[in-house]
Structure 1
């Protein structure tokens, strides 16, 4: 197991971080989908800072500006190390897809460090893939084995973006996914296949922060099921399904999703 990495990241909001909310709003940490990297939050970056939030977004290992892992690790440990480095004691987590899985692990292991969570079409620790997700995984793996990264990228773009995503958004996701595939493939060629650490034993009911679990009506069934299940599992969670959304609503309808996030963060801060 490697030591926690210093993740490539951006900060905004002005001034040093401290152990609680800033004077002008909540500290936010944005965690990206495995289809993207931290650039997926471009549409929300300025509006969230403008709403008074001190904001951090980072790239997991093998995405964006963070090198690929060379030994087994846990992304939640890397996120904790980043927050410690930045002097952030507590923060709200805004997370998409795989980033939602990381957020749930983080909040279950260190619940006192999380003030709220907004989870967009999240993954979930311990979730076994259903038929749709298993079929996608098999198609993607076959393309990797054939060495056809371009087709694997197109499969991801077609699968994870809903009908409201325009061509500019599709191209943005295409670039992010292609970069991740190239970085991770090059690392595997150099270091060999990196195994995964077993998932830690987690008690999700330990999560005490308010949670908004969002699903998209055009998403795969797995993620719609997870969002609904979280509302039953977590003591302060609620589920919202967006009838227009696919898997990446913050890119498909940026303004609508940003308003949803800012409303939830304002409400949770008042609780």
Structure 2
């Protein structure tokens, strides 16, 4: 079971889920993508999807279920499309998607974030992300956790002296064979709600669930509820064989 974090967070966003998944019998792997958490920025051209595939190879994992939040959902889709034989199931929480064209709300957010960072207002950019991507269920503790993860990402990425491009693998979603759960949040930006709602039109074994209480990061907003949602999906699509935890 591979947990792929959002672009607002890092591997720590899965703290509420990973022990429960391991206790249910899954070997759980939750990496920091390049430039997030404890992973440095890239020192050469790279692909997040290829990085995940290489991590699985290094760990001796032949096939895995993937859970991806937001940007992590895009990485999961890219991996499942480019190497469908590696992926047994996809659980996508408010995912981005390859080839996404941002709508007006997402473009407005990106413009505000760029302006704040250009002005050196990192804390302002952090708060913009917290306010944009957390729904009404998020309490002070959750907001603080997201604040810390986003601040860490800015620190790592802004300190880089050179930026290397990411190469994207071929992402023909029609090649995906794994069953997919696509989750959206009723309080999320329209882009992500639309992506999740339309995935059943693009993937042969996908179903969509919208959470009426959720923003963009439901696994942090109602952790226990989302953990059960993931486990219910996995019990049917990717039953566990044994319990083991990998950091």
Normalization by structure 1: what TM-score? Answer: 0.86
Change (3 A) 1:54 1:200: closer
Residue 90 (structure 1) aligned with residue 60 (structure 2): no
Q: What corresponds to 2:203 in structure 1?
A: 234
In 1, the alpha carbon distance for the partners of 2:208 and 2:129 equals 25
Could you tell me how far apart the structure 1 residues matched to 2:169 and 2:58 are? 23
Question: How far 1:73 moved relative to its partner?
Answer: 1.2
In the alignment, what sits opposite 2:126?
A: 153
Q: 2:178 — aligned with what?
A: 209
Comparing 104-113 with 63-72, which one deviates more in the overlay? 63-72
Contact kept? 2:5, 2:72, Cα under 8 Å:
yes
Asked if residue 165 in structure 1 is aligned to residue 113 in structure 2, the reply is no
The alpha-carbon deviation at position 223 of structure 1 amounts to: 0.3
SS at match of 2:29: strand
Counterpart of 1:121 (choices 88, 94, 97) is: 94
Do 2:78 and 2:170's aligned partners in 1 also have CA atoms closer than 8 Å? no
Q: CA RMSD in A?
A: 1.0
Q: Deviations over 1:124-152 (max 9, x none)?
A: 00011011101100000111111110000
* CA distances 1:145-191 after superposition (whole Å, capped 9, x unpaired): 1111000000000000000000000000000000110010001xx22
Aligned position for 1:180: 153
**1:248 aligns to what?**
217
SS of the residue 1:58 aligns to: coil
Match of 1:9 in 2: none
1:259 alignment partner, one of 221, 228, 241: 228
CA shift, 1:194, in A, is 3.1
The answer on whether the counterparts of 2:4 and 2:72 sit within 8 Å (CA) in structure 1 is yes
Tell me which residue corresponds to 2:103: 130
Q: What's the secondary structure of 1:71's corresponding residue?
A: coil
Task: State the 1:55 CA deviation.
Answer: 0.7
Name the counterpart of 1:75. 48
| Shift in Å, 1:231 | 1.1
1:70 offset after TM fit, Å?
2.4
Q: What do residues 61-117 of structure 1 show as CA deviations (whole Å, max 9, x unaligned)? A: 010111111232110011011000000000000110000000000000000110000
CA distance in 2 between counterparts of 1:162 and 1:126 reads 26
Asked if residue 52 in structure 1 is aligned to residue 25 in structure 2, the reply is yes
Cα offset, 1:45, TM superposition: 1.3
2:214 alignment partner, SS class: coil
Tell me, yes or no, if structure 1 residue 33 matches structure 2 residue 3. no
State the SS of the aligned residue for 2:238: helix
Aligned to 2:165: 195
2:79 match: secondary structure = helix
Alignment partner, residue 14 of structure 1: none
Task: Please give the TM-score of this superposition, normalised by the length of structure 2.
Answer: 0.95
Pick 1 or 2: higher relative contact order, CA cutoff 8 A, min separation 6: 2
* CA-CA distance at 1:228 after TM superposition: 1.0
Count of residues paired in the alignment: 239
